[in-house]
Structure 1
């Protein structure tokens, strides 16, 4: 795992070309040894040339500074052994990197530059991968359905003799993700084009530039540099992070890229939680790739609360174990709701003698119980569908009965959890009693409101298991007003629930 460049203990460089790369310990010694040998070789040559002291010192300083600047990201000319060229036809980005770092961060490069694959290419007579030089170029394919991919190309002259073009298979093949039907970068370009739709024509970028930026961010993270991702617009950051994660998935580098994306998005704090509430399925898919517990948990709570609304956006887009987790959480939520509803239907009042109220012993109290149950039934069960047909059914003027609307049961439970005037307020009780003129009086109204308040208090206690909010999104103020989200957010994501740890 690589460390974050913006960690306080490792402040980011002021300029990209003035920062020495923090190579892994496995190659740090070999890199420094190579640089020392190079410096010694040039220093010896200068001493034997017989140059003057002043001129020789200046020449040595210039040569040393040039060598230092020429051996940093993105081109390590002195120690790099892998050349990567990413070109869109209009722009070209060139990197000279290290095989050991690429193999450490990416299973794709580890397999493609392994000794096993080297022997296969050389017919078993090669000296192994350690003595080789490598070159990769971005191949855009032949059509819209082809996914742009880095392929091995003949080595450039500065690296030695040319080698045949080849695209090695991974040593650890893995099935493609469910959504990889081809043309990923083409799809990302389309998304970016939509995201830039409100900009002026001269401000819009070439979609191919987004591909180049994705590869640049990929290699920057490999070398512990912060990726160039939007820090001002979370919608732009989402698109850029999604593109970077899919590229990392293609090159088997999610373990390195995922934490960097997670770290970047969490910087948005409250803006991130609000954005997840708007697009929970999209962020659930992104969080799964990034292995982000915070984002995955937040998105999952929204998805479960609204299920099955998100099913069309998740089917064939996430592994089956993610859908299984969602269905398990939905079952747990439905089970909790069923237990709470059973308690609510059993709520009743008793007389001063401890008897359950009835029309015979406490008619007004029984009316309040009936009023509360009627309100609860109307708000938690769909209305009945009429079975009678109009006289001209089937004719040109016939009308189909409207389909029952989706019940907002989450909002109903929240109103019960708030209690007080959030539902069945003073005016509602007054209108109800006036339906029976002989029962309406100021004393009866006050007594009816007191007894109804007792029922509301018992109901509020019963729904507490559904009132817990495990979101990072702050919704308390809206809930206290009887509003807020129209679904429940009491789903808890615990250890052992993360689908990427199975």
Structure 2
């Protein structure tokens, strides 16, 4: 008979043979490790001398070196091909295999075929490809652009690319000796004292903001002064457009500007064409829509600032919205001219059945026709003459805009055809002018004003975020931007 050992007995035997002190010691050691405070390595550990592996220099994992230098200072980045290619079409093309292999004669480490012979077969380590870009400033009128340089490949994780030397000084005026130059710690290598301003500071800041956004860091944009923030955002968007990175940069710019809230809407009301261009580049629906309402309402006032400076689909959208508004205004004008009063028997007033009330209708129509028709061109020259010695042409008159008239009609009350105007008009017929007739005349004028106010309601709609209670605008803001109107691909 075959006997089998008792498994339970074996387990008990193992439990007895295990030294009890091992378990208790291990538990105490684990407890100590969990509760032991972090020891400082300052001056006492080699870890403090390890190179950093964080933005902007990823020493261990970075494979794309980017150097921005102008001879006075230098800013160096060591970033990742994967992230740059995902965020920028420029880098996606420049770091592609087709681009990288173009013109390469050998794939040996460090470009030296003899290095392969000295490495035993099967022991060849993974080669680490490195790319390098430097900012080419070009001539004075050129736009600085990153140019790819030939960088050596490395093995064993080392960096065989020699440190770059700053290019010679640019042909630009020397930097001023006053002011304050701000820089982030570990973000740049400076060759000038930190108390000097550099004429290329904007370029250094814009590139730093570009790469910061690529790595999901907030860009360094002015959070207080909206005018400065607009300029910084505009320059950053222009840089992102150069490197085909608007889809990544645009949302960051949109988020930063929207934080200004009410101040942003007021700025857009002051400079609608400028913010329309910015909103289009940033793909900001809120900024683009707000600026579009102002531009359409003032059109053609901003045509010179937009034509040739913005994409054709945007101009086409403006013209379509202007045509829609003109059609609506034309329909409402027809209804306004057809407004009339009726007698107590329900008949339309005429000179024969109620002369006084017919005069009230005539005064309203005359005022409406005069204010909705462009003034005739003057036959004689303007009496205004340019100052002596200045033979320049006089500025053209502002374009005729009926928005102000419709605003008055929508407001009603004493905003137009008030008491004094009614009194002067009625005095033109002395036989009918008296206190009772004036009161009845004014009541009938008020009645037709109320009808006009109801008629123009479609033009009184407001699609702005701007609070108009602080002050009205002299143009219409009833343009609505639908989701399918945005002229960019989602």
Residue pair 2:298, 2:401 contacting (<8 A) in 1 also: no
Within-5 A mapping of 1:112-131: 112-122=94-104, 131=128
Q: Is the 8 A contact 1:136 1:150 kept in 2?
A: yes
The answer for the alignment partner of 1:144 in structure 2 is: 140
Q: What corresponds to 2:485 in structure 1?
A: 497
* Greater percentage in helix: 1
Name the counterpart of 2:447: 454
1:83 is aligned to 2:65: yes
Deviation per CA, 1:268-325: give whole Å up to 9, x if none. 1111111111111111111111000000001111111111111111111111111111
| Partner secondary structure for residue 226 of structure 1 | coil
Separation in 1 of the partners of 2:485 and 2:134? Answer: 40
Q: Is the aligned partner of 1:436 residue 2:418?
A: no
SS of equivalent to 1:354:
coil
Partner of 2:280: 288
- For residues 46 and 251 of structure 2, the distance between their equivalents in structure 1, rounded to whole angstroms, comes to 39
Q: Which secondary structure state, in structure 1, belongs to the residue aligned with residue 484 of structure 2?
A: coil
Q: Distance in 2 between matches of 1:200 and 1:417?
A: 59
Say which of 472, 476, 482 aligns to 2:469. Answer: 476
Deviations 1:170-212, CA, capped at 9 Å, x for gaps: xxxxxxxxxxxxxxxx9xx9xxx9xxxxx99646943311000
Q: Is the 8 A contact 2:42 2:48 kept in 1?
A: no
Pick one of 231, 240, 254 that aligns with 2:232.
Answer: 240
Aligned to 1:463: 456
**Aligned: 1:353 with 2:345:** yes
Cα distance in structure 2, aligned partners of 1:60 and 1:389: 86
* 1:9-44: CA deviation from partner (whole Å, max 9, x where unpaired): xxxxxxxxxxxxxxxxxxxxxxxxxxxxxxxxxxxx
Q: Matched residues in 2 for 1:380 and 1:434: separation?
A: 26
Query: In the alignment, what sits opposite 2:149?
Result: 153
Displacement after TM superposition at 1:62 (Å): 3.0
Q: Do residues 62 (structure 1) and 45 (structure 2) align? A: yes
How far apart, in 1, do the equivalents of 2:213 and 2:482 lie?
30
Please show how residues 22-421 of structure 1 align to structure 2 within 5 Å.
Answer: 62-67=45-50, 70-122=52-104, 131-141=128-138, 143-155=139-151, 159-160=159-160, 202=179, 205-385=197-377, 406-421=399-414
Compute the RMSD of aligned alpha carbons.
3.2
| CA 1:73–1:404: 2 relative to 1, 3 Å | closer
Cα separation, 2, equivalents of 1:437 and 1:464: 37
CA contact (8 A) 1:329 1:491 kept: yes
Q: Write out per-residue CA displacement over residues 229-257 of structure 1, whole angstroms, 9 at most, x where no aligned residue.
A: 00111111111111100111111111110
Deviation at 1:64, TM superposition (A): 3.4
Measured in 2, the distance between the counterparts of 1:200 and 1:137 equals: 27
Number of aligned residue pairs: 398
Distance 1:455 1:149, change over 3 A: same
Structure 1 residue runs without a partner (length 5+)? 1-55, 163-185, 194-198, 391-401, 479-483
Of structures 1 and 2, the larger Rg is shown by 2
SS of corresponding position for 2:67: strand
1:145 CA displacement: 3.5
Q: Which structure 2 residue ranges, 5 or more long, are not aligned? A: 1-38, 110-125, 163-170, 182-196, 383-394
> Does the 8 A contact of 2:41 with 2:48 survive in 1?
no
User: Equivalent residue of 1:496, what SS?
Assistant: helix
Equivalent in 400, 403, 422 of residue 415 of structure 2 = 422
Aligned mates of 1:201, 1:211 — CA distance in 2: 19
- Rate the CA distance shift 1:327–1:123 in 2: closer, same or farther, 3 A: farther
Shift in Å at residue 119 of structure 1?
2.2
- Any conservation in 2 of the 1:383–1:404 contact (CA below 8 Å)? no
How far did residue 154 of structure 1 move? Answer: 3.4
Secondary structure, aligned partner of 1:159: coil
Q: TM-score, with normalisation over the residues of structure 1?
A: 0.73
Question: Is the CA contact 1:419–1:457 (under 8 Å) kept in the aligned structure 2?
Answer: yes
Q: Distance in 1 between matches of 2:177 and 2:351?
A: 73
Q: Deviations over 1:443-486 (max 9, x none)?
A: 111111111111001100110111011011111353xxxxx211
**What secondary structure sits across from 2:147 in the alignment?**
strand
Measure, in 1, the Cα distance between the counterparts of 2:151 and 2:48.
28
The answer as to whether partners of 2:56 and 2:78 remain within 8 angstroms in 1 is yes
Q: For the residues of structure 2 that align with 1:124 and 1:374, how far apart are their CA atoms?
A: 88
